[in-house]
Structure 1
Amino acid sequence: METKKGYKKASLLEVLWVSLRLGLTSFGGPIAHLGYFHNEYVRRRKWLDEQGYADLVALCQFLPGPASSQVGIGIGVMRKGLLGGLMAFIGFTLPSVIALVIFALFVQGFDISNAGWIQGLKIVAVAVVAHAILGMAQKLTPDVKRRTIALFAVIVTLLWQTVVTQVVIIVVAALIGYWLYREQKAPSTSRFEVPISKKFATSCLIIFFGLLILLPFLREITSIHWIAMFDSFYRAGSLVFGGGHVVLPLIERELVPVGWITEEAFLAGYGATQAVPGPLFTFAAYLGAIMDGWFGAFIATIAIFLPAFLLILGTLPFWGMLRNNPKIQGALFGVNAAVVGILIAALYHPIWTSSILSPIDFALAAVLFSMLVFWKLPPWIVVLAGAIGGTVINIL
């Protein structure tokens, strides 16, 4: 079934299935995930258009927490409401949660950090992100003004690397876009439909801030271990901008000094997290399993992702209203251009700098990029080819 403008509806089962497949094949970190999402949801399935996707990405860049997971949840919500968001979250998150719990229980001492297939998956991320940037740049930076904003975002992102950099860039780009395009009418886009009420959204925001304030008090007055765990992971998920890599030191400060996990076990889990698809925040599942088995993994996973869920549910209905306001369209022009710049900067660092280490790495990246762009092969084939190619390079 299709809606106006040809953008396709989806069943609840289809939302779960598509997100599960992405959860099994999306390697390379949050920026690469946005590339996989773009290919699947925008290019292939046409569940939303380029500008709608870019606006959703811009919103999630504003919010603390795992941006790629929030984008996936947001797409699920727009397709099938609250249950759609839940199915999208479960599908994208569950594979890596299970894999990391198994790592925690059975292979804690196994060093995979230098495995060739991991290097191959890093190179896959280069091809995926480059492909996403190519498509988004054509749509979102069609004129010199927006290309200049993108360039500004690239330079600032690379030269000023702090936890607030992306938020500052997006705010400044929004102001510049508002000023440059304040008298220009934006092109018509598909409706940004969010099938949840503003009252429900407001309740989610109240719960988010309420838990952030209440949990530390409960931790102190109860001395219950799982409440203390929930508080630590919830706070980590609530206060971190910049994605999974940024959350790691915050979690380490919460867990290692109090003796919940050793430094060695923490670092071993970080290596394992790089080897699995899906969001980097599922590192919490590994840590929870080390501390308290499957129950600990469940508590830690729910706690670290709950803020992301509450925030995206709490802001999406209002975002749709603002997006369609003519006074906000110019600001979104600037924000969308800045998102392109942020992605270009991320393509260079950390993706390119940590993946392309030799001419043969670049050659493999070129082949994988061609598989996506020229031969139009499915992402899972590209992932498999990257893993095999990395293994062969490692042997050579």
Structure 2
Amino acid sequence: MLPYLTTVKPVRRIRYFIFLKDVLILALTTFGGPQVHLAMLHDLFVRKRRYVTESELMELNALGQVLPGPTSTQTITAIGFKIGGPNLAYLTLFVWVMPAVSIMTAAGIGIYYLERHNLSLQFTRFIQPMAVGFLVVAGYRIGRIVIKDKISLALALTAALAGYLFRSPVMTPIVIALGGLTTALTYEKQQRMPKEPLRIQWANFFLWLGVFVAAAGLGAVTRSLPVRLFENFYRNGSFVFGGGQVLTPMLYNEFVAFKHYLNREEFLSGLGLAQAIPGPVFAIAPYIGALSMRDAGVSGQLWGSCVATAGIFLPGTFLIFFVYRFWEQLKRYRVVRASLGGINAASTGLTAAAALALFEPMAPYWPSVGMVLLTIFMLLYTKIPPYALILGGLVLGLLIK
């Protein structure tokens, strides 16, 4: 037994190291959002490495879609948890997000440097309408999946109207919750499944809730901007269902329309860049965090990026660790399954509201309108990757004065 025991840990370490290397490869090469991420996870983690089976991958991805937070990040983190427990999962999260976070932090610092030295940002002017085009296509694609009947259509339209008329950060979680409650009432349409008693381990839930309450309390007492930024992003990360396209209106409402930490042009430039880099779209958070603390210098911007990154990614991680342990029992309840349709429909409506709000100031300018339409066409009818479109927009901005 002793020789076996002495060789188990080194073998596991080697396997964990190879897994983290594969995660890094994905973090540097996955462009295009959750749908593309899932395909690449299947190719590498299921077909080539066999870390998980196809059914296990799809189950973990479904769990990520149910919970608030970034679906791709939660899926890949849950795989790390399944392979090596919480320690490997946290390392997986760090390796997965760091390339995109580093790029977007540098972008935030770079944008402020150009503004401070009165250097023109005209080369980014095509990125802003392109970002609106990306948002429109994301909403359209998710809408085709989740809008299946008159109820989901009505919820999407109502959410779009509410999100457009009431641009408060408080409105988003309310709309999403009401959407889920509406379809939860139709649970009798769901197929019955044999139930098992829920065996819940509450540690990660209390960790999520404790950080939530502590951040809100400390922010209110200290009025410290880094603490308040962490709380803002932690709250948004705790209530965003549907991925990056739903996070966008939440962040725009809070940091641009409500608190004015960024202007509209800065936000759209960051949104466009976030579409062009590999990794999670939630990486727009460190960009916003860096610009929110621009007055504190480069060190302050780096600190702003760190608290924003932690705030946006930790809630989904805590929650998937919590729910993962009893997901098999939970998904058997019809109310839970029924609520998902309303949550997804409301999220689609909020995406439409964000796209409309961002497009509205561009409407009088035909070059911007043309770029929005061209971006939509290229995304829907060509196979040109998003990063190539964004790079093309930057080059066009440099060439056309």
Q: Which residue of 1 aligns with 2:369?
A: 362
Give the Cα separation in 1 of the matches to 2:65 and 2:357.
19
- Distance in 1 (alpha carbons) for counterparts of 2:335 and 2:265: 46
> Which residue of structure 1 aligns with residue 47 of structure 2?
none
Corresponding position of 1:30: none
Corresponding residue of 1:74: 74
Greater shift after overlay, 308-317 or 241-250? Answer: 241-250
Does structure 1 residue 343 correspond to structure 2 residue 339? no
What residue number does 1:234 align with? Answer: 230
The residue number in structure 2 matching 1:379 is 386
Deviation at 1:313, TM superposition (A): 2.1
- Cα distance in 1, alignment partners of residues 192 and 393 from structure 2: 40
Q: Report the CA distance shift for 1:356/1:318 in structure 2 as closer, same or farther (over 3 A).
A: farther
1:334 to 342, 353, 358: 342
1:283 aligned residue:
288
Indicate how the Cα distance of structure 1 residues 17 and 288 shifts in structure 2: closer, same or farther if over 3 A, else same. Answer: farther
Residues 173, 335 of structure 1: 8 Å contact kept:
yes
- In structure 2, what is the Cα distance between the partners aligned to 1:347 and 1:251? 17
1:314 aligns with 2:318: yes
| Residue 138 (structure 2) aligned to one of 126, 132, 150 | 132
Aligned-residue Cα RMSD (Å) equals 3.9
**What is the letter of the counterpart of residue 377 of structure 1?**
I
1:123·1:386 contact (CA, 8 Å) conserved in 2? no
Given residue 210 of structure 1, which amino acid in structure 2 is its aligned partner? A
Amino acid at match of 1:248: F
**CA shift for structure 1 position 308:** 2.7
- Paired residue total: 331
Residue 331 (structure 1) shift: 0.9
Alpha-carbon separation, structure 2, partners of 1:247 and 1:111: 27
Question: Do the aligned residues in 1 keep the contact of 2:212 with 2:235 (CA within 8 Å)?
Answer: no
Moved more, 131-140 or 356-365: 356-365
1:257-296 to structure 2, matched below 5 A, reads 274-276=268-270, 277-278=273-274, 279-286=284-291, 288=293, 290-294=295-299, 296=300
- Say if 1:123 and 1:361, in contact at 8 Å, map to a contact too: yes
**CA displacement at 1:139 relative to structure 2:** 1.6
CA gap of 1:54–1:211, structure 2 versus 1, over 3 A, is: same
**Residues 289, 41 of structure 1: CA spacing in aligned structure 2 closer, same or farther, 3 A cutoff?**
same
Corresponding residue of 2:95: 87
Runs of 4 or more above 6 Å deviation: 47-55, 249-253
* CA distance 1:285–1:179, change in 2 (3 Å): same
CA contact (8 A) 2:159 2:175 kept: yes
> How far does the alpha carbon of each residue in 1:270-317 deviate from its partner, in whole angstroms, 9 at most, with x for none?
8656544231542332455652543x3333322233333332222224
Question: Retained in 2: the 8 A contact 1:20–1:90?
Answer: no
Which amino acid in structure 2 is aligned with residue 156 of structure 1?
A
Separation of aligned partners in 1, 2:59 and 2:128: 28
1:185 corresponds to 2:181: no
The amino acid of 1:367's aligned partner reads L
Residue type at the aligned position of 1:13: K
Cα distance, 1:46 vs. partner? 5.7
Partner of 1:263: none
1:213 is aligned, of 198, 217, 221, to 217
Identical columns (%) = 15
TM-score normalised by length of structure 2: 0.67
| Structure 1: distance between partners of 2:219 and 2:105 | 24
- The Cα of 1:324 is off from its aligned counterpart by 5.3
Q: Match for 1:369: what amino acid?
A: I
1:173 aligns to what?
179
